[in-house]
Amino acid sequence: MKNIVLLNGSSHPSLAQRISESLGVELCSSKLGKFSNQETSVEIKDSVREKHVYIIQSGCGRVNDNLIELLILIQACRMGSAKRITVVTPLFPYSRQSEKSQKKRLPQHQIGSEIMNSLSQTTGEVSNPLPQGTFAQSFMGMSVGEGGYRQWCARAGTLVANLLQAAGADHLIAMDLHDPQYQGFFQIPVDLIYAEPCIIQWIRSEIPNWRQAVVVSPDAGGAKRATSVCNKLNLDFALIHKEDVGSTKESMGLVGEVSGRPVIILDDMIDSGSTIGLASEILKRHGATEIYAIAVHGIFSGPALEIISRSPVTAVACTNTVPQEEFRSKCAKLKTIDIAPMLGEIIRRTFHGESVTQLFVYDELM
């Protein structure tokens, strides 16, 4: 492949290296660091003139530093007369910063204390819906400002989209956006790709009795993702939803039958681990034999690893859009789904002007 440059930021060097190996293209030589006053320093040592540059930077770790580094890398390539600049963000930074999703997010100490208390409860009645505390209400988006005032949140994801375009990006590749609405905020072409083919392959190879499993969506918003996998694997579907238990309270309930069967929880992201912890507890109380959780982005912030370790989950599999090595060393339940070959193929297809959509429809023909 001539006239292509692979440039990696400092957020996920191992993923960039695996993509480089799958393509057979060496990574561009660069020097990334900080000055003594902590300003970001970027130096690209190879020529990018009249070349198609792919910048690989995931929105993980030190997100703010990595975002600024990405913007400077884009500007450096633009000033270096790059013909075209494509930004590859396996995890798009600030993709959760919409008004709706902001209201559901709680401080880490509150999430940790309430979810750990929920997992520690032992009751003899299976029919009791869980949970009914402050966390449950905030988790289901029930928080209201004092005096009925509507709380407004900054939509930082829109700002990030504008910054990437202002820096000089010509094209964006992002995987499983938490809020797909952000795709419409770009004036440049956006290829929104999905980890579904890799997830289906992992289910077939790593879950021994997957043909008897039930795919579970932990909320209504993820039902489309879960049913897509159900249709391709010909599996049953179940949904965890909110239900009224009084005039002012809501709780989580299960729609579907999971008794005596393994279950597979599908979500796009595991951050605090609260969703997986609550969902696994409900499924266990409804008689699920084995509980597998699969997510595209494994962030595991705050008490997430402790929650997963104490939960009834058998295994948790996440793609490597975020570095997973440190997390796996702390929690034996974690598994990794490698998406580097897929990203490499998508880069190859976009470089040669081939269809990307075809990668995600082949399973429907099987």
Amino acid at 117: N
Give whole-number Cα distances, 229 to 124, 212, 294, 329, in Å. 34, 14, 12, 29
Tell me the torsion sign for CA atoms 309, 107, 96, 329. negative
The stretch 106-128 carries a mean pLDDT of 51
Residue 299 scores a pLDDT above 90: yes
Query: Which whole number is the average pLDDT over 87-110?
Result: 68
Mean pLDDT of 44-48: 94
Reply yes or no on whether the pLDDT at 22 is more than 80. Answer: yes
Distances (CA, A) of 355 to 2, 144, 348: 20, 45, 10
Segment 330-335 mean pLDDT: 94
pTM: 0.82
Given a contact cutoff of 8 angstroms between Cβ atoms, the answer to whether 56 and 169 are in contact is: no
- Relative to beta strand 315-319, strand 334-337 is parallel
| pLDDT at 229 exceeding the cut of 90 | yes
d(Cα 347, Cα 87) in Å, to the nearest integer?
Answer: 10
- Top-confidence residue, 124 or 32: 32
Residue 1 has pLDDT above 80, yes or no: no
Classify residue 362 by its DSSP letter: G
Share of the chain above pLDDT 70, in %: 80
Dihedral sign (CA 135, 137, 142, 147): negative
Checking 120-127 for CB contacts under 8 A at 24+ apart, the result is 120/310, 126/285, 126/286, 126/287
pLDDT at 141 over 90: no
Residue 16 tokens read as 């960039």
Q: What pLDDT digit, counting tens, does each position of 101-114 carry?
A: 444 554 544 455 55
Q: For residue 240, is pLDDT > 80?
A: yes
Summarised one tens digit per residue, pLDDT across range 165-192 is: 999 999 999 999 887 777 888 999 999 9
Q: Give the long-range contacts of residues 112-119, CB within 8 A, separation 24 or more.
A: 112/272, 112/302, 112/303, 112/306, 112/307, 115/272, 115/273, 115/274, 115/277, 115/278, 115/303, 115/307, 116/303, 116/306, 116/307, 116/310, 118/277, 118/278, 118/281, 119/277, 119/281, 119/307, 119/310, 119/311
Higher-scoring residue by pLDDT: 359, 166 = 166
SS (H, E, C) 59-85: CCCCHHHHHHHHHHHHHHHHHCCCCEE
Task: Return all residues near 51 (Cβ < 8 A) that are at least 6 apart.
Answer: 3, 4, 5, 82, 83
Q: Is the pLDDT of residue 77 over 90?
A: yes
- pLDDT mean over 7-12: 94
Average pLDDT, stretch 294-301?
94
Q: What is the mean pLDDT of the chain?
A: 84
Mean pLDDT throughout 292-320? 94
